Amino acid sequence: MLLTTPKFDNITHCPQCMEDLRSEPIPKHLRKHYGSHTHFSKLIGIEFPELYDGVSFWQCPFCKTVWDRWTGRKLTAKEYARMCKREKRRT
Ligand SMILES: [Zn+2]
């Protein structure tokens, strides 16, 4: 399952291509819901519901790099394909 999410872990620039991942500024009256964040994010949150209830990986919309939300480790295209395949088998 793919979705765009305004939540992000203080990532303002892609670690791979260095593109600015900040989107629109969060309206002041909504900021209390987003912790210390001041901008929405262009990051794509990737969820594997069987693995974890929430975002497990981030994907850069510019260079398509996928990395682990918790460890920051980059996934190779092969690893990512394997994750998707495993998810499909379960559902
Ligand atoms: Zn990137």
CA 83 – ligand 1 centroid, Å:
20
CA 19 – ligand 1 centroid, Å:
6
CA 64 – ligand 1 centroid, Å:
6
CA 40 – ligand 1 centroid, Å:
16
pLDDT digits (tens, 9 = 90+) for 39-62: 888 989 899 888 888 888 999 999
CA 17 – ligand 1 centroid, Å:
4
pLDDT value, residue 2: 47
pLDDT digits (tens, 9 = 90+) for 12-31: 889 889 999 998 898 999 88
Q: How many domains does the chain have?
A: 1
- Domain of 25? 2-90
- The residues, any chain, with a CB within 8 Å of residue 16's CB and separated by 6 or more, are 60, 63, 65, 74
pLDDT value, residue 1: 44
CA 33 – ligand 1 centroid, Å:
26
In order of 36, 52, 56, the CA distances from 76 in angstroms are 31, 20, 15
* Dist CA 89 CA 32 (whole Å): 39
pLDDT digits (tens, 9 = 90+) for 69-87: 888 889 998 999 998 888 7
Among 22, 18, 19, which residue's Cα sits nearest to residue 8? 22
Q: Is 57 left (phi over 0), alpha (psi -120 to 50) or beta?
A: beta
pLDDT value, residue 18: 93
pLDDT value, residue 90: 64
CA 20 – ligand 1 centroid, Å:
9
